[in-house]
Structure 1
Amino acid sequence: MKSVLLSTTMTEWLAETAPWLPDWIPMFVAAAIHTALIGLFFGLPAFAFIWAERKVSGRLQDRLGPTRTGGRFGWLQSLADGIKLVQKEDLAPHAADRMLFQLAPYIVVVASFAAFMFVPFSDGWVSVGSDVGLFIALAVLSLEVLGIVLAGYSSGSKWSLFGGMREAAQMVSYEVPLGITAVIPVLIAGSMNLNEIVSIQSGGFWNWLIFHDPFSFLAFFVFFTVTLASNKRAPFDLAEAESELVGGFHTEYSGMRWSFFFLAEYASMFFVSMLGAILFLGGWWTGLPFIDNSLVAVNDSSFAYGYLTRVLGMVVLLVKAGILVNVQIWIRWTLPRLRIDQVMTTCLKYLVPISCFLFLGATLWPLLLAATLQRSNLFSPIGERVPRPRVVAPRNLEIETARLSDPTQGVR
């Protein structure tokens, strides 16, 4: 698939359709569309997965879950909860630092929201395309812990403070194995551009990076385990441990400010699931060569069909992310919560050394194959960067053509 940015095509289409408009209007419209789309993907996962959490947990515990609101399956339960929370009074403790207390939920929401801007939903469909997109996305998402620490500190409650400090220790520790395991696909692909990491996984499910070598296979499970801790999901939900800290860092929050924390949590669950699918599970590729190859051929032949194939790729990516989110829900209602000392021991004593070993193994794996099989990989498509056409500005076309015909031209 050729990379086509929605902002670029929308801006060009508006400029061609209404050339009398000022230059800033098409850019503003494209930015507004991007904001609306990201807001949609930020809010809808929380709407769907809060309902899924209740239904899945109900089935695991031999209950029915929501059944009345929204029909037989209770699919409007999340909407009913949102309407209820909007009507609740916004309260703050007298001992709280009111400015920080009110600011903390917004920091958490903005961090989770902004992380989606760097993730491609399909080939070229990314709000902010960057060659270091993975690094920026993880850096922005890590800012969520600042809001949680501020929420615990500013609440004027020792239970909230304990929850915030637990989350600070947990997040700072688990970011180490998270970063190491996320770098393994970067090492294999030779790029931190998420679009390129997915592009080299085309051709079949055996080309997905999870099957590249034994080390990347294990790295996916370490990555998934670490993301559970980064999202405060059980068995790593020490920041809000209801049985120990009443409600943890958000004990003193009510109404919409309380809901912001959970909106950000479910959005972050969806984000890390998308990131795991992009890094290890082929992203928007179906894994079936006869489908993926036909999509590439159709996409290269027609502009309209190219968008349809990107929509299909986006659906594939969302399905993969949804499956991983359901696995997170399944784990929450299956495993008991760990103690804080067990959480830190799991990270520092086990996950950090394991992730370092996997990174070293993924580094030496191509050298081992080169020494034994005279090739750097088992399957040829892996590691081959997708060629991209060279774009030349029209005003420099003659100069560029002359330079290519005579390489010595312009060299002093």
Structure 2
Amino acid sequence: MTSKLPNAQTSIFAVMSKMANENNAINLAQGFPDFDVAPDLIDRIHHYMQQGWNQYAPMPGVPALREVIAKKIDSTYHVDVSPDEVTITSGATQALFAAITAIVHAGDEVIFFDPAYDSYLPTIQLCGGIPININLDKKDFFIPWKEVEQKITNRTKLIIINTPHNPSGAILSADDIQELARLTRDKEIYVISDEVYEHLIYDGAEHCSVLKNEELRKKSVAIYSFGKTFHATGWKMGYTVAPGFLTDEIRKIHQFMVFSVNTATQCALADYLKEPNNYNYLPDFFQKKRDMLLAFMEPSRFEPIKCHGTYFQTYSYAGISDLPDREMAEWITKTHGVASIPLSPFYTDGSDNKQIRLCFAKGEETLRQAAKKLCQI
């Protein structure tokens, strides 16, 4: 049998988490919180289960949830979105797969930016698309727009952006969004904007959603995650927002992947999203954790790279070791008891800039103990 993904390997997240477990190490590798989901949200799910909401949901999603999402987008970004443009998915990764598959045909070129979330490349390949990867600035993780302009051809069909950016924590500015609009103007180029960390943005900055740009709004798919917002990554709940003609194509794929997702959880989220305080507290909450990790790590020899969003802090160890980043991450896990994620697996070309990523979505004592171990290096 010929593999469709001959170069695909076990995710670096799974590898490092397994190593953390085997070495009884503190796991700052995989991006999941170690604190509980809000009890009242759990109670609402239980309520709907007891009320009998346990069968298939409508394929696009429970209407009440799609309606409250549309209102949330309006109140947050001042953008008028119809509930008919919202599709509830089994996590953001499924949303990405459905959206990329809906847009990309064999031979289409897809521009994306490395380091990149690891589902982009294999999905493009499974669609027969031609991946065109562009490396972000290795220090600030900015998009080199001149290079983007040079890489756009008459075969370019899609550009994938990610803000706030995983794994670096960088964010796109309004100028970046304007430049993207300029480069795709009058071209049949679509945009997928991975915005799963939309509420995890710091230092008074604003999230520049692709939905806020009137020009891009007409040709873009924005993707979001309830798991990231409500500390429930295991629920695998997300959604897409796209104009009608793109939504129709996404749903054609979605219905044959999962058809629909957990009904009781959708109903509970519809209730929970009605209160903005249930998500508006997140920037301050996670900024305090970021600042806490930075403070705990200040005595270390690791050099922090500015993090403006997500719950990941990238560090350079270039002044500590010449080891390749994967070997460095493994050595730290085994000898110092802290698991991190090396950045080279996020690069198509395997670029190794001597950087590792730490997840700070953890309790204070966990961060303190991890930093104490890392400061001994």
Q: TM-score, normalised by structure 2?
A: 0.24
Select the structure that is richer in helix. 1
Larger radius of gyration: 1
Higher relative contact order (CA 8 A, sep 6+): 2
Q: TM-score, normalised by structure 1?
A: 0.23
